Amino acid sequence: MAEISLRKIVKDYGAVRAMHGVDLDVADGEFVAFVGPSGCGKSTLLRMIAGLEEISDGELSIGGRVVNELEPRDRDVAMVFQDYALYPHMTIRANIGFGLKMRGFKAAEINERVERAAGILQIADFLDRKPGQLSGGQRQRVAMGRAIVREPSVFLFDEPLSNLDAKLRVEMRTQIKRLHAMLRTTMIYVTHDQTEAMTLADRVVVLRGGHIVQQGAPMELYSNPETRFVGEFIGSPQMNIMSGILDRSGDVPQLCLGDQAMPLGVVAAADGARIDVGVRPEHLTLAGQGAEMIRAVPEVFEPLGSDLMAICSFSEHELTARLDPNLRLTAGTPIPLSYAMENLHYFDAETGKRLATV
């Protein structure tokens, strides 16, 4: 069993506190992604699990065993870094098996494990080549193979795809997903790319300023962000946020935005309160006759083939609408947009916390 338990984990760098009493449980065989902006503490937390950073306070256990004082080699974890750190003078076979050789494994067992890992990662044809003869994606597979041959209880990934181009990142995401489905080993994956987190993980943990601000299944975070920060961070393109004053004087509540108003559902906030309203780009559609809810002015169009991204001005705000790619629109000509009330998200303008709907 390779469940991981973090209890009130603290990390201090002198007088600066980087992690603030983090509590987290990772189930055996679960794939969890740590995501958040630079400096949020995600890599620090991963390195403490690996034993590469000392824990200032709290308790960390892996498989029911407290490992705070154990060296990295004694924790039964394997880590894959964004820097492949391969030995350029060694063959791929030698690179993958090097750690086992240093631990005194016999040549026959090393070769068996290397061959098995190479088969899983589809790099068996490259075993006699040198790292300089491989592409970036192939070198990253070699780094993963070096971790696989150890047969650890836990795999740790620290932004392993950040050095790859967009096409290779997509390919390697698929490879990592297949690897987890095949091995069913506990995996923790750190990334600043929320798309990676959502496509790979069973559960996403969002960090900010050394705190966990929300965790859950990818679509749970996407559909029900508990804060404005999570709403904006999860999803690409990010959620549109409009900030204004709630007006309950008419038959339908409205968000007053300077010279325009935005019809709302019934939200648990007082008349006159300043609130933030979020709507995702795909939930904005070109309105038919009589269905207009807001009028925006498109300024820039980004054709993506499957979609047309229209970046518009709306009152003093900028919003993005994901529209039908076959539409013929003109920059500067206002367009009518509509949305379903149930797709709106409401946040307290001061605290950023989600507001309930009634």
One pLDDT digit (tens) per residue for the chain, 358 residues: 689 999 999 999 999 999 999 999 999 999 999 999 999 999 999 999 999 999 999 999 999 999 999 999 899 999 998 887 889 999 999 999 998 998 899 999 999 999 999 998 889 999 999 999 998 888 989 999 999 999 999 999 999 988 888 888 888 899 899 999 988 999 999 999 989 999 999 999 999 999 999 999 999 999 999 999 999 999 989 999 999 999 999 889 999 998 889 999 999 999 999 999 999 999 999 998 778 899 999 999 999 999 999 999 998 899 999 999 999 999 999 999 999 999 999 999 999 999 998 7
What is the predicted pLDDT for the residue at 35? 96
What is the predicted pLDDT for the residue at 1? 60
Contacts of 236-241 with CB under 8 Å at 24 or more apart are: 236/194, 236/195, 237/281, 237/309, 237/320, 237/322, 239/278, 239/279, 239/280, 239/345, 240/278, 240/279, 240/280, 240/281, 240/284, 240/317, 240/318, 240/319, 240/320, 241/276, 241/277, 241/278, 241/317, 241/347
What is the predicted pLDDT for the residue at 81? 87
What is the predicted pLDDT for the residue at 290? 76
9 in Cβ contact with 19 (< 8 Å): yes
The amino acid present at 256, given as its one-letter code, is: C
| pTM, rounded to two decimals | 0.91
